[in-house]
Amino acid sequence: MNENKPIVTDADLHAFADGLLPPERQAELQAWLAENPEDAAAIVTWQSQNDEIRAMFSAYTVSKDHDADLVSKNGRTSSAKAIQPRRSHTLTLLAASLALFIAGAAAGHFGPDLFAKPELQVTSIEALPQQAHSAFIVYASDVRHPVEVGADQEAHLATWLGKRMNVAGLKVPTLQRLGFQLVGGRLLPINGTPGALFMYENASGQRLTVLVGRNSGNTTTSFRFASDNAVETFYWIDGDLGYAVTGEISRDMLRQVADECYKQFSS
């Protein structure tokens, strides 16, 4: 047993997913995730769930000056001026914690019904680029294990992922015309169901990913664009499947890749 191997707990993984780890632990967790793809996939799922919950309750994230009074005893504030700043700070934190608890409880109790309503279908659609971004960040930077199945087993990769997703004739896009070679792919949880992630690399070492997931809403959209710092994503919905192309490359090149993928997936 390696005495120097860091001990990673569930609390560490959740803190990493929420962006709450101290800087000195961040690098350790990134190294751990590179060697533990199941934990990395779980973090992608948790981050997507967080995004969905935040989107669902975004209309209610309004605070007022007297919110802290709602959790003070009998609604009265202290008249002791010397301790008021500390008490006000404490009550504000308590109010925030209470709001988060209520939001979490509501999501757990009403979540399935809320997401099933047509007017909230956009939540799952908008979650697609977030999941694609998270998957790119976790896997594209991995040097030793970026994929589960390599390009030398492309036929097996397509058959395996298509079977897991219950998609007959799932295609692995060919992007050689645009200068990108297939690295391989992996199984990925997307909205709680099996999804596919294909990875590509060009001659200069730049990588991009193509994500394919089930779309329970059975809707269709045109190309949409999302940007998060230097990471760009083009995504679209076509029937019962959603697609997202993500990379740290020019938006014009990413658009060409998305267009090529769209043509091949639709053919």
Nearest to 55 by CA among 148, 119, 140, 137: 119
Residue 83 pLDDT: 43
- 0.75 cut: is pTM over it? no
Token pair 């779980």 is found at 42
| Residue 107 contacts residue 56 (beta carbons within 8 Å) | yes
pLDDT in tens, 143-171: 889 999 999 999 999 999 999 999 988 99
pLDDT at 231: 92
Which position has the token pair 């709450």? 20
pLDDT given at position 104: 54
Tens digit of each residue's pLDDT (9 = 90 or more) over 203-230: 999 999 999 998 877 677 778 888 888 8
pLDDT at 174: 96
pLDDT of residue 82: 42
Low-confidence ranges of the chain (pLDDT < 50): 1-3, 75-83, 102-103, 106-107, 109-123
Residue 5: per-residue pLDDT: 57
CB 91 within 8 A of CB 71: yes
114-120-122-128 Cα dihedral, nearest 10 degrees: 0
> Residue 181 has what pLDDT?
97
Residue 80 is predicted with a pLDDT of 45
